[in-house]
Amino acid sequence: MHIWEIVFVSILVTGIAGFIGSHVARVLLERGEQIIGIDNFSDYYDVNLKKNRLKGLENFDNFTFHNVDISNIVSVENIYKKYDFNKVCHLAAQAGVRYSLEAPMEYINTNIVGHTNILECCRNYNVKNIVYASSSSVYGGNTKVPFSVKDRVDNPVSLYAATKRADELISYTYHHLYDLNTIGLRFFTVYGPWGRPDMATWIFTKKIINKESIDVYNNGNMERDFTYIDDIVAGTISVLDSINKEGLKLSKVYNIGNNKPENLLSFISVIENYLNIKAIKKFKPMQPGDVIKTYADISDIKNDFNFLPITSIKEGIPKFIDWYKLYHKL
């Protein structure tokens, strides 16, 4: 392809200083997309980590950043007035299952009000294509595995999960009423470099290095479909590239995971082996809002977008640990 054949369009990426948002944006920027990024640097976790993620994007000439809280409709609308988007990759959210037990209104304001503000601005400013972050947590306490997008998801076990399910329903309604194309991606336990400090990979690595005990819930009888960030990015961008095909009218949700649940103790042992340090484990009962197992049926996203995760935890965890040591100068 000749350089003059590339069509440059503006894509709005929300939550651009977040874990997934910063990775998705980098790949889009590297291939020449004109990106507008927004974030409000929520202090739910280390703001400096978010600012450092953003620093890695600021050298691109095709990148513009604005500090915007998506729960503020006026601020969001100002972005839509200023730029002409072709599509939106909406990854901003108040994350974390356990924190939703302590601060429910943070989740209502960001995940429901903020999500609706994005959709409302898309409607009012004729932006027809939105790919947004949902979560595997919508499956709640479902025991049938693997989790399929055809399964019922009306029994959330955390407020975080309830807000993510609400986002899916609101998105469908905007599609039905206003012809917006909306695709929700139910992410399954994403990990990797520049990850979140409240997630297991970071917590376990930090504590094992520091010779501190780690809390192992449900006595280790838990499984997670750990999915490496590069696989998540590849899947997200594949969906984003396809959503604006001419004549397309749809509202769907997809699972995006590794399709391979890992036992929590096995996951910990991969970290132990790479660090060559034995973890001090403190076994604890199940926490409120938690689930025993997650397992993604990815047949739909595989069939529709050729998504195929390729990174095992034996490959992905060392990459995270190498980054972690470099970032913390260890």
Of 212, 219, 217, 186, which Cα lies nearest the Cα of 200?
Answer: 217
Which residues form the catalytic set? 160
Do 115 and 172 meet the contact criterion of CB atoms below 8 Å apart? no
> Within a domain: residue 185?
yes
Residue 131, SS3 per DSSP: strand
Per-residue confidence (pLDDT) for residue 263, from 0 to 100: 96
Q: What is the mean pLDDT of the chain?
A: 94
- Overall size of the chain counted in residues: 330
> Within a domain: residue 323?
no
Residue 5 has pLDDT above 50, yes or no: no
**Structural domains counted in the chain:** 1
> Within a domain: residue 49?
yes
> Within a domain: residue 147?
yes
Q: Which residue has the higher pLDDT, 308 or 4?
A: 308
Per-residue confidence (pLDDT) for residue 9, from 0 to 100: 57
Pairing type for strands 223-224 and 262-263 reads: antiparallel
Rounded mean pLDDT, 3-21: 77
Per-residue confidence (pLDDT) for residue 111, from 0 to 100: 97
Rounded mean pLDDT, 276-291: 90
pLDDT digits (tens, 9 = 90+) for 258-272: 999 999 999 999 999
pLDDT digits (tens, 9 = 90+) for 300-328: 999 999 999 999 999 999 999 999 999 99
Do 184 and 132 meet the contact criterion of CB atoms below 8 Å apart? yes
Per-residue confidence (pLDDT) for residue 273, from 0 to 100: 98
Q: What percent of the chain has pLDDT over 90?
A: 88
> Within a domain: residue 283?
no
> Within a domain: residue 255?
yes
Per-residue confidence (pLDDT) for residue 1, from 0 to 100: 33
> Within a domain: residue 326?
no
Q: Within 13 Å of residue 31, how many CA atoms lie on the same side as its CB?
A: 14
Per-residue confidence (pLDDT) for residue 97, from 0 to 100: 80
Which range marks the domain in which residue 90 is found?
A: 7-191+229-259+295-310
Tokens of 32: 């020449």
CATH for 16: 3.40.50.720
Rounded mean pLDDT, 207-223: 95
Rounded mean pLDDT, 180-202: 97
Tokens of 306: 């050729």
Rounded mean pLDDT, 284-301: 90
> Within a domain: residue 280?
no
Residue 248 has pLDDT above 90, yes or no: no
Per-residue confidence (pLDDT) for residue 100, from 0 to 100: 85
Concatenate the DSSP letters of all residues of 240-295 into one string.
HHHTT-TT---EEEEEES-S--EEHHHHHHHHHHHHT---EEEEEPPPTT--SB--
Residue 247 has pLDDT above 80, yes or no: no
pLDDT digits (tens, 9 = 90+) for 58-107: 999 999 999 999 999 999 999 999 999 889 999 999 998 888 888 999 99
